[in-house]
Structure 1
Amino acid sequence: MLRSKFAALRAFGGCVALALAVQPAGAEMRPSLAFSGVTGLIDMPSGDQQLDGTLSVVKSQFGPIGRTTVTFQITPRLSGSFRYGSVKDWFDPPQDDISTYFDRSFDLRYQILQESRYIPAVTIGLQDIIGTGVQAGEYIAATKTFGDKVKVTAGLGWGRYGSYGAIGAPFGARPEIDFGLGGKPRTGQWFRGDVAPFAGVEWQVNDKWSVKAEYSSDGYTAEAVDRDTFDRKTPLNFGVEYNIRNTIRLGLYSLYGSKIGFSAQVALNPKKSPRGGSIGPGPLPVTDRRAAKSWGDAWFNDRGSLTAMRDQTQAILSRDGIIIESMAVNAGRVHLRIRNTKLDNAPQAIGRTARALSAVMPASVDRFEIVPVAQGVPLSTVVIRRADLEALEFAPGADIAMDQRVQILPAAASLPEGAIRGAGLYPRFDWGLSPYISTSLFDPGKPFQADLGLRLTARYDFAPGLFATGSITKELYSGIKRGTFESNTKLPPVRSNADIYNTEGDPAIERLTLVWIAKPAPEIYSRVTVGYLERMFGGVSGEVLWQKPNKPYAIGAEINYVKQRDFDQLLGFQDYSVVTGHVSGYYSFAGGYQAQLDVGRYLAGDYGATLSLDREFANGIKVGAFATLTDVPFDDFGEGSFDKGIRISLPLAFLSGQPTQKVSKLTLRPILRDGGARLDVENRLYDTVRSYQETDLDAAWGRFWR
């Protein structure tokens, strides 16, 4: 056995020497991804990190082992991963006709040293920190780049990364821990037990092709030894990868001397659109007021002239999907309220509105007050001096200079004197018919299921802030089946019956509500929603929010009285009802980081708090995580111990390059339980109003001139 290990090391050393000797010139090396979905080689991690903000998805398979991993580079040094893995032939004989073992796991990695001329990049990693422990392992990995073509990695691993070729246990034995219900960190195991070395080399042949070789310290004890799901013959792995447009990478590998594996990797850089930016129409030039249209000497007392100004401004803004809610003009100022229905960037909507005003307003009007409106309520007042607009359009650093000169003030609820409303806005009826996909994830028998169908939506606006909305779905393909295992919840089944709602609601009334959103004071917003609030609950929801436009924080409160809906999601209700609500605090940090703390009562009657942390980029991509702890004991909560998950929002404008406000949202929960469940009501106030507050406008201001 010892001789075979030395032979493997000699063979691996030959691969390293060959790669170091052959280094043709070419593009700079980019960090690659391993089978486990983290930055690494083939099946081993490395000391590299992805570019800050990178969101990656890796699907890998060899023999009976399959993994799907989502990884987010939270900061330049810190990354987190959620993984869903499977091992075929795990249960022999099968249990409940299931022979495949499915497992969920979370990872965290932190780079303690960044690579320099003489120092390698060094990363400490924790794998499967709160799961079942089947995938649990810890490591320290160091990676050094030689030239611009070769990277060499060496490291030490514990847990499953220390299960082959161990050289000792410097920090004591690794205790056996019963993971129980899962969901809790097993800190007592970290960096304990046998430690083993691993190493690898990556050679980037050119900007498309790269080859890899590694010596693995993962003995696959549970899979290859205890369960005999495959034959692990050697610790050496080899692979070749092909890069497509720096976003997609495909790999083919020889693993452990007995299996051929493959991986498909998608890595998105939120700071760089795959389309290279928006391909919508460009902005109009700023019109010098010396060329502005003359409206005579007494235009501000002539309602016909004011109406013509509104209509001409609207004609310009229509191509960008901007609708004028109202306009008030006097000799030196224009107060314009707008609704942005198309552009995905708030400063861009402000900038294009200012350009339109420069083309229409009389020369004496120097102060542009642009008030964005959402759901019928004004959000803030963006004040722009016309002289600044004219002077800075082609100036170096124009975006920063304009950002420093613009004022963001509270917006009054009432219209200014003499305001003219937009033409034909209220009442208004809109409807749409579109396809939908509904997914069910992580059921042990069928981990991915989906329904396909059509969704009919409708909205009727009675007046600003007062509207009725609804949606009805009809399945065309029913792929979601009843859950493999019956719920053993000890709480009211407010969420654990989701599979019954999935299978019995066809057709279904998703929502049918009457909504009133108002602004009782310049810094206070309110919402009342009545009806079928979501597919499982209906009732009454009320909310109030305090938000100053120039502050990074806000405070809100919500209270709801709801009753559980029938499984068919038509008009009936079940017997269960509850009063639920929260007090919420919001804070926007520099760099796009946002925190939210909700404290209160949840749908199952439990009391507790939810902490959410998100990172949002200027283009609207948002990645975050949340965790909820309540007074429900872990044993009563069930598998997972407490509610937690990852959520991702991808604006379609980022992917398509076309201006649109549509967003694709995904929430990944290891398991859906009843504890910590919150009402899923639409039009919550903070998400409605914050895009046009100073903190968010500053973060995205780079597109003001576009």
Structure 2
Amino acid sequence: MASIAAFGAIVAYADPLLSDNPGTFGLPGLIDMPTAESVPEGMIGATVFRFSGGLRVTATFQVTDRLQGAFRYSRVPGVFTNGSALYDRSFDVQYRVLDERRLRPAIAIGLRDFIGTGVYSGEYVVATKTITPRLRATAGLGWGRLGTNGDIGSPFGSRPALNIGEGGKANTDQWFRGPAAPFLGFAWDFNDKLTLKAEYSSDAYPRETAAGTFSRDSSVNLGFDYHINKSASVSGYYLYGSEVGLQFNLAIDPRKPPVPSGLETAPLPVRPRPSPVSDPAAWATDWTADPEVHPGVQTAVAKAMEKDGMVLESMALSATRAEVRLRNQKYLAQPQAIGRTARILTRALPPSVETLVITSTAEGMPTSSVTLNRRDVEQLESEESLALLRKAEFSDGIAGAHPGLVPTEGAYPRFVWSLAPYGEASVFDPDDPFRADFGVELAGRYEFAPGLIFSGTVRKKIVGNLDDSTRVSDSTVYHVRSDLVEYQKQGDPGIHDLTLAWYTRPAPNLYGRVTVGLLERMYGGVSGEILWKPVDSRLALGVEVNHVKQRDFDTLFTFRDYETTTGHVSAYYDFGKGFMGQVDVGRYLLGDWGATFTLDREFANGWKVGAYATFTDLSEADFGEGSFDKGVRLTIPVSWTTGKPSTNKVSTVIKPLNRDGGARLDVDGRLYDTVRSTHQGDMQIQWGRFWR
């Protein structure tokens, strides 16, 4: 029994060392010092820390089980010679090298502020060990800012001076160089809500103390974390023997919505057919000679699908096979729409029809077909959805399509419109770090026929202060993007976009798009795209070419003199486990040539967190502050917050700066994002909602 207990202890220590107590830099930590702890994979966090005139606002993401990253916006007081504050953007990353074992601590390495001005720049190796179930000890060695108090020498050589230049570059020549100093601390869980902390800090705060913004009288910091609930906590600190700091912390698990799902109406039950032995007449196929049967069945299916928030675009029906084309307007998970359609078909089709082909459409294009045996649907309704997935067959939406597809009456033409609130924010302006506008957005869409769509959006601000900005772009190249403030000032009310788009399927595995008109707020013209994407492939390849002219600041129908041709060759790849990669190579709006690299982490419920970086042949001096374009992007499905089914999502891109180099056209309806959710890879991930 003793050996079994010892083995159990070892297994427990083999798990990742998890913590829900962030430090003042956002990642799991003591106070200012880091720890080797992590949060559960996929967690998103935000912290706001304030002390002695300083401010740190940090967003964090646990990218993998071992890798975590942070983006921070800080107000650092007294940095400049005139005593003014520095508003700084910085990135952190930490990787857990070793997990905790019974006799070994968890060990992690990390980089703070490794891109940019380096005001918080530092590197560290840190170890954390569980002493008792409620007590953890941490010790580490820091360089840079973390090596400025009580250093033990420079084990890896001297640290060169930081060459900021235009900023935005990784200061790799400084990493783990120069004086190294030890730090240590303890965290004790007083109870399930309150954690007490103490640390010895190796950060001397040289800039801040030299500027006189606060007095560093001690290297010992004390603090507490109090958990209000599973998502929110507050922290308080007594820092360096002279200051008090306060922090608010928020943690979000994208996989756990705040509102339970399932608020949609229950699907119709599957209707089993009678046995062909007990009722052979029901299985007869002479109904195919009756010209009234097909229209009657199609009308019944269309009405049932409409009640479920879906549209039956067309249908083909024979003695043993039915094919329907489905437009999903309601469910974020395409398998949920397919499952509800399959249920409806079992209730409406004659018993002799055994093969069900459900073809998904996107922007009028048939994208993929799921073929099911009706018998499997009847027999597996009470089983896990995986059982039916094993029976399903996926194929291209135009391969093997029935030649007798009959359009549903009233499906086209179609007009929809909406009037909804909108919000637009501006961050990182040193004069006012946060500005925002709120107003109403009128959107309309007229679908002439499958794939032919006229749409537009008009916005009117109601309240906001984006037009209060007095900053003028200092870009030395043509302002293809950096005059955004002028569009915000003069484009109210304004036409955000007004386009005619044509989507087509030129051949199996190929998709096409042509869009003309006012493509986005700043540009109008023509955009064309071809995408190669087999239904069952992780890889997709695309080509896009655009010829555009810059719109006037009033965002109406007039244009400025600037005109350019831009385009990219793109590769998309699904790495599995929720990781999606994209590389775009080509010519940008300014005429610079280069490539954009994007990596996204996606969740089955529609959440997406990603980052991108663009490198072009534009020099750092011409690009200006930041050196190259980069940013973080976030997508949140509306259904996650409401619990009600919806295909709508809220997306935003957080960029440290809005410069002109590496700028792409922001055209709506790009093909990869349009078709991907209806292809095999995405549907297999979300197949658990088939019976919902």
Band the TM-score falls in, shorter-chain normalisation: over 0.9
Take 2:309 and 2:135, find their aligned partners in 1: how far apart are those partners?
A: 50
Where do 1:234-313 residues align within 5 Å? 234-290=218-274, 297-313=285-301
- Name the structure 2 match of 1:451: 437
Residue identity in the other structure for 1:509: I
Contact 1:29 1:148 in 2 (8 A): no
- Name the structure 2 match of 1:43: 32
Where do 1:299-338 residues align within 5 Å? 299-338=287-326
Contact 1:231 1:258 in 2 (8 A): yes
Give 1:252 shift. 2.2
Residue identity in the other structure for 1:37: G
Identify unmatched segments of 5+ residues in structure 2. Answer: 1-16
Question: Which of 675, 679, 684 is the equivalent residue of 1:693?
Answer: 679
- Name the structure 2 match of 1:704: 690
- Name the structure 1 match of 2:628: 642
- Name the structure 1 match of 2:521: 535
Confirm or deny that 1:348 pairs with 2:336: yes
Contact 1:545 1:685 in 2 (8 A): yes
Residue identity in the other structure for 1:275: V
Contact 1:55 1:73 in 2 (8 A): yes
Confirm or deny that 1:115 pairs with 2:104: no
Confirm or deny that 1:60 pairs with 2:49: yes
Question: Which of 208, 218, 221 is the equivalent residue of 2:203?
Answer: 218
- Taking only aligned residues, the RMSD between alpha carbons, in angstroms, comes to 2.0
- Name the structure 1 match of 2:139: 154
- Name the structure 2 match of 1:81: 70
Q: Which moved more, 1:338-347 or 1:291-300?
A: 291-300
Q: Which moved more, 1:30-39 or 1:616-625?
A: 30-39
- Name the structure 2 match of 1:671: 657
Residue identity in the other structure for 2:234: L
Confirm or deny that 1:383 pairs with 2:367: no
Residues 164 and 603 of structure 1, relative CA distance in 2, 3 Å threshold: same
- Name the structure 1 match of 2:594: 608
Confirm or deny that 1:518 pairs with 2:504: yes
Residues 231 and 375 of structure 1, relative CA distance in 2, 3 Å threshold: same
Where do 1:487-636 residues align within 5 Å? 487-636=473-622
- Name the structure 2 match of 1:197: 182
Contact 2:284 2:352 in 1 (8 A): no
1:380 alignment partner, SS class:
strand
Take 1:34 and 1:75, find their aligned partners in 2: how far apart are those partners?
A: 20
Give 1:140 shift. 1.0
Residue identity in the other structure for 2:268: L
Residues 199 and 423 of structure 1, relative CA distance in 2, 3 Å threshold: farther
Contact 1:140 1:157 in 2 (8 A): yes
Give 1:579 shift. 0.7
1:371 alignment partner, SS class:
strand
Residue identity in the other structure for 1:355: R
* Cα deviations by residue, 1:680-700 (Å, 9 ceiling, x for unpaired): 000000100011111111222
Contact 2:549 2:560 in 1 (8 A): yes
* Cα deviations by residue, 1:448-487 (Å, 9 ceiling, x for unpaired): 1111111111111111111111111111113114655432
Take 2:263 and 2:48, find their aligned partners in 1: how far apart are those partners?
A: 31
Residue identity in the other structure for 1:284: L
Residues 203 and 655 of structure 1, relative CA distance in 2, 3 Å threshold: farther
Contact 2:201 2:220 in 1 (8 A): yes
Contact 1:157 1:198 in 2 (8 A): yes
Identify unmatched segments of 5+ residues in structure 1. Answer: 1-27
Take 2:190 and 2:375, find their aligned partners in 1: how far apart are those partners?
A: 55
Question: Which of 114, 117, 129 is the equivalent residue of 1:132?
Answer: 117
Give 1:141 shift. 1.3
Contact 1:454 1:473 in 2 (8 A): yes
2:669 alignment partner, SS class:
coil
Take 2:33 and 2:663, find their aligned partners in 1: how far apart are those partners?
A: 37
Contact 1:482 1:500 in 2 (8 A): no
2:506 alignment partner, SS class:
strand
- Name the structure 2 match of 1:369: 357
Residue identity in the other structure for 1:191: F
Aligned residue pairs: how many? 672
Take 1:153 and 1:358, find their aligned partners in 2: how far apart are those partners?
A: 62
Give 1:555 shift. 0.9
Take 2:593 and 2:557, find their aligned partners in 1: how far apart are those partners?
A: 29
Contact 1:482 1:499 in 2 (8 A): no
Take 2:666 and 2:456, find their aligned partners in 1: how far apart are those partners?
A: 14
Take 1:61 and 1:319, find their aligned partners in 2: how far apart are those partners?
A: 52
Take 2:273 and 2:101, find their aligned partners in 1: how far apart are those partners?
A: 54
Q: Which moved more, 1:319-328 or 1:101-110?
A: 319-328
- Name the structure 1 match of 2:10: none
Give 1:413 shift. 7.9
Take 1:462 and 1:186, find their aligned partners in 2: how far apart are those partners?
A: 55
Residues 456 and 239 of structure 1, relative CA distance in 2, 3 Å threshold: same
Take 2:221 and 2:300, find their aligned partners in 1: how far apart are those partners?
A: 68
* Cα deviations by residue, 1:638-675 (Å, 9 ceiling, x for unpaired): 11111111111111212222211121112111111111
* Cα deviations by residue, 1:70-126 (Å, 9 ceiling, x for unpaired): 1111111111111111123444646xxxx3310000111111001233322111000
Give 1:56 shift. 1.2
Take 1:406 and 1:109, find their aligned partners in 2: how far apart are those partners?
A: 42
1:314 alignment partner, SS class:
helix
Take 2:219 and 2:262, find their aligned partners in 1: how far apart are those partners?
A: 48
Give 1:32 shift. 2.0
Take 2:452 and 2:161, find their aligned partners in 1: how far apart are those partners?
A: 60
Take 1:608 and 1:406, find their aligned partners in 2: how far apart are those partners?
A: 42
Q: Which moved more, 1:259-268 or 1:185-194?
A: 259-268
Take 2:400 and 2:474, find their aligned partners in 1: how far apart are those partners?
A: 53
Contact 2:224 2:236 in 1 (8 A): yes
Give 1:445 shift. 1.2
Contact 2:61 2:70 in 1 (8 A): yes
- Name the structure 2 match of 1:173: 158
- Percent of aligned pairs with the same amino acid: 47
TM-score, normalised with respect to structure 2 = 0.93
Contact 1:527 1:685 in 2 (8 A): yes
* Cα deviations by residue, 1:564-617 (Å, 9 ceiling, x for unpaired): 000111111000000111111111111111111111110001111111111111
1:589 alignment partner, SS class:
strand
Give 1:296 shift. 7.0
Take 1:661 and 1:489, find their aligned partners in 2: how far apart are those partners?
A: 39
Take 1:90 and 1:29, find their aligned partners in 2: how far apart are those partners?
A: 36
Residues 297 and 496 of structure 1, relative CA distance in 2, 3 Å threshold: same
Give 1:31 shift. 3.4
- Name the structure 2 match of 1:10: none
Give 1:634 shift. 1.0
